[in-house]
Chains A and B, each alone.
Chain A
Amino acid sequence: MSEPITVKVFDIVGGPLCVSAEDGQRLHDKIVPLLRDGKKVELSFEQVDTLISAFLNAAIGQLYGEFPEDRIRELLSVKDMEQDDLAILQRVVENAKTYFKEPKKFDQAWKEEVGDEE
């Protein structure tokens, strides 16, 4: 098997703060062509100090709308992440899987508490 291409998140974002959806989108746009080509991608979070879900939703979460789960599992990996950041990523991944399987529909329960009295 070929060696994965290491993408250093710090370099793509330009610093240690991964706190915006816009930066997450830039990272996403960098890795999608590689994944489409069937290349293995390893995201390194070395030197990343602060990471939030809005960034990860854009960078990784939306991949689940573009690639099958097993393809992502096969091609994408992460390293150099703190334990709490891994926990956030896990929630982002679980959330994305559900999101793309069951897009939110207008919930009937709304009718009990809606109103235009305002």
Chain B
Amino acid sequence: MIYYLPTIYSNQDGYEQLGALAKAAQGLSANRLELSFSRVAFFDANMAAPLGVVLSRIANDLNAVEIVDVPVMVERILRKNGFLTHYGYQRLEDTNRTTMPFRRLQLSDEGLFADYVNRQLRGKGIPRMSAGLGRVFKKKVFEVFQNAVIHSASELGVFVCGQFFPQKQRLDLTIADAGIGIRDKVRQFFRTDKISSVAAIRWALQDQNTTKPGPQPGGLGLKFLHEFVCLNKGRIQIASRFGFYELNKGKDSFAKMDADMPGTSVTIEINTGDAAQYCLASEVTPESVF
């Protein structure tokens, strides 16, 4: 089949479009997908991660995936970040070092993810980013990856991609998994199929709520991320199945999507120009902590 991808921004519409691609390819097996970019006027680089999720699922059904007719400007960024090299294109050197390369990792590749974070965050707004901010941001990124490891059951792995915008002092990073999504995880936990994607995301963002099995408490990772991004005046987007959530300018918004975006994608956008001293936020002593 031939599918014409439209312009993809990092927003609800972008995820709806990727969900529509997933739906169109449903049932395609041992066949061929020609994904035409001829109608793509713009592609937010971090969205290569959720596109990677959708295409990996299509390829997993034994389909050959070919990406064609990529406009020059879009091709340049998607070759620089390495996404298109997965589809037979030559890599283009990222001389300005503004991309955070597209990577596909297995859930067990925690060490490789750590290498990725340590290598890629160096020089992306850091040292322009204050040491405290860089340190806190790194922790949030690991928390999001760990959420995927613990909750997603993504056999096809985790897809990571980002972009640094030096002029705007913004860094966007998306971590997307091809797993069961927040809705099904919450449904399993409460043993009901009467929970919508939006309700499930809303629940997962509340204090102390976790679907983690066994004796470990949890439910802090997303809360910490939320607090941090509010302070930093950054942005969070979560797209999971039919649910979309965004934190922008300190405001939460939830929306039901028309299309089913597989797995869970989390985008963190941080304001790299933030000079706040995150390290000095509290005065806890080792003696008082327990």
Interface residues of chain A, those whose CB is within 8 Å of chain B, are 17, 19-22, 25, 50-54, 57-58, 61-62, 64-66, 69, 72-73, 76-79, 81-84, 86-93, 95-96, 98-100, 104, 106, 110, 113-118
Interface residues in B65-100 (C-beta closer than 8 Å to A): none
Neighbour of B217 across the interface among A77, A78, A79, A99, CB < 8 A = A99
Determine whether the beta carbon of B114 is less than 8 Å from that of A114: no
Residues of A within 8 A of B139 (CB): 19, 50-52, 88
Task: Tell me the bound Cα distance from A106 to B284 in angstroms.
Answer: 34
The contact string, 1 if C-beta is below 8 Å from chain A, for chain B 190-201, is 101111111100
Neighbour of A54 across the interface among B146, B199, B283, B287, CB < 8 A = B146
Neighbour of A116 across the interface among B142, B194, B212, B290, CB < 8 A = B194
Report whether over half of chain A's contact residues are helix, strand or loop; otherwise say mixed: helix
The contact string, 1 if C-beta is below 8 Å from chain A, for chain B 271-290, is 00000001111111111111
Interface residues of chain B, those whose CB is within 8 Å of chain A, are 110, 114, 132, 135-136, 138-139, 142-143, 145-147, 149-150, 183, 190, 192-199, 202-203, 207-209, 212, 215-221, 224, 241-242, 260, 278-290
Task: Tell me the bound Cα distance from A97 to B195 in angstroms.
Answer: 28
Determine whether the beta carbon of A110 is less than 8 Å from that of B195: yes
Task: Tell me the bound Cα distance from A72 to B289 in angstroms.
Answer: 11
Residues of A within 8 A of B280 (CB): 83
Residues of B within 8 A of A84 (CB): 132, 135-136, 278-279, 281-282
Determine whether the beta carbon of B150 is less than 8 Å from that of A93: no
Determine whether the beta carbon of A54 is less than 8 Å from that of B221: yes
Task: Tell me the bound Cα distance from A44 to B215 in angstroms.
Answer: 24
Residues of A within 8 A of B147 (CB): 54
Neighbour of B289 across the interface among A50, A90, A118, CB < 8 A = A90
Determine whether the beta carbon of B289 is less than 8 Å from that of A86: yes
Knowing A114-B196, A118-B196, the reply to whether A104 touches B208 (Cβ < 8 A) is: yes
Determine whether the beta carbon of A58 is less than 8 Å from that of B146: no
Task: Tell me the bound Cα distance from A32 to B284 in angstroms.
Answer: 25
